[in-house]
Amino acid sequence: MVTNELLQTRIKKLKSEFEKVFGNQKEIHIFNAPGRVNIIGEHTDYNGGYVLPIAINLSLLAAAQKRKDTKLYLKSMNFSRKFATFLENLKYQEKRDWANYPLSAAWALKEEGIELSGANIVFDGNIPVASGLSSSAAIEVLTMKCLLELSGKNIEKEKIPILCRKGENDFIGVKSGIMDQYIITFGKENNALFLNCETLEHKLIPFHNMGDKIIIIGNTKIGRGLVKSAYNQRLAECNEGLRLLKGYIKRENIKNLSNINKQEFEKHKNKLPEVIRKRCAHVIYENERVKKAVNSLEKGDLDKLGQLMIQSHNSLKELYEVSCKELDTMVESFLKFDDVYGARMTGAGFGGCAIALVEQKSQTEIIKGVSKEYKDKTGIHGEFYICRISDGVKKL
């Protein structure tokens, strides 16, 4: 397969780079971690709701070698700077830039009391950076997998995403959800992952009737500079909505906004300030859409899944207000084609990527048409990737 040939080419280049940096290729191990897109369920994760992500064939590779000391030596073929530090001296430093993400994984393992060996690691990725396809979570999970393997340590698989999030939250200081780390750990070829972000219950959902269908990822090439401030603002708005709704809904065990069902919200929504009402409406209705999307996949009803994707985008645009002109333009361009089932923004918003579920036979025509219209309307050359649903992190 072309994809396997591409992977082998990447591995060959990675090994060559490893030898250039460290002088040998003795006892090196190769690991792979995918990026991800979320089919539906946006901004529900940190509200304790449902998500439906997939692992994709854009990935990060690592060549890793055990050291005799406790030094961690990190090099990426995607960045010019390399870093080295001892496992006894893991501290966040802003100047370390990309290296803070793999260091956060090592830190989380150390905090768990796991004794680690030092390692030489060279990374190579074809996940576009800052595109919303989760390159940061991929390098966290990938590093954790490398260090556990080289150190001869085993932990429960469920602990990997939990510890990776701990590293991102407490070492780096980014209060992220757990969806990205979970799908990168548990992803399976041709399956989506239905995850409850409150309880962490999860199950794989096969993509039925996908034989002649594909997912196209459209990268707007817009950086997501507003994401951090907007994320914090939306989180505060959702928490305020939860506080107010708990005062009206006399029911125990409401821990998160997603614990409130559509009927309860409809009864009390007009008591909320307009902005708070809109944020809560998106989360609660989006949570319902995820459950309907799972049902659609299980039945092989891709027409219904496409409709839910469109509804999700409109909600993110109008209620949660995290879309942007470029994302809207790309989604609208996709939806002009008859062989597109549905399209939506994916990720935090304000840039990044959109996805579309399409007939494979029309992929060239669709990409060509969307690319032209997007360039004509925004002046930006978008990038497009054919997405294959892949396995989670693994040793190759």
Tokens 């996709």 found at: 334
Q: Say which of 97, 180, 303, 328 is annotated catalytic.
A: 180
How far is residue 9 from each of residues 18, 152, 331, measured CA to CA in Å? Answer: 14, 29, 33
Q: List helix spans (H) across the chain.
A: 2-22, 100-111, 135-151, 159-166, 179-186, 227-248, 262-268, 274-299, 302-318, 325-334, 363-378
Tokens 């809207």 found at: 328
Cα–Cα distance between 164 and 150 in angstroms, integer? 18
Annotation marks residue 180 as catalytic: yes
Cα–Cα distance between 108 and 91 in angstroms, integer? 11
Provide the total of helices (H) and of strands (E) in the chain, helices listed first.
11, 12
Q: By the 8 A CB rule, do 59 and 387 touch?
A: no
Cα–Cα distance between 313 and 173 in angstroms, integer? 29
DSSP 296-350: HHHHT-HHHHHHHHHHHHHHHHHTS----HHHHHHHHHHTTSTTEEEEEEESSSS
Neighbours of 66 (CB within 10 A): 17
3-state DSSP assignment of residue 129:
coil
Tokens of 278: 């809109």
Backbone angles phi, psi at 13, to 5 degrees: -65, -40
Instruction: Calculate the dihedral angle through the C-alpha atoms of 377, 378, 384, 390, rounding to the nearest 10 degrees.
Output: -110
Instruction: Calculate the dihedral angle through the C-alpha atoms of 316, 322, 325, 328, rounding to the nearest 10 degrees.
Output: -20
- C-alpha R_g of the chain: 21
Backbone angles phi, psi at 27, to 5 degrees: 50, 45
Give catalytic residues, as residue numbers: 180
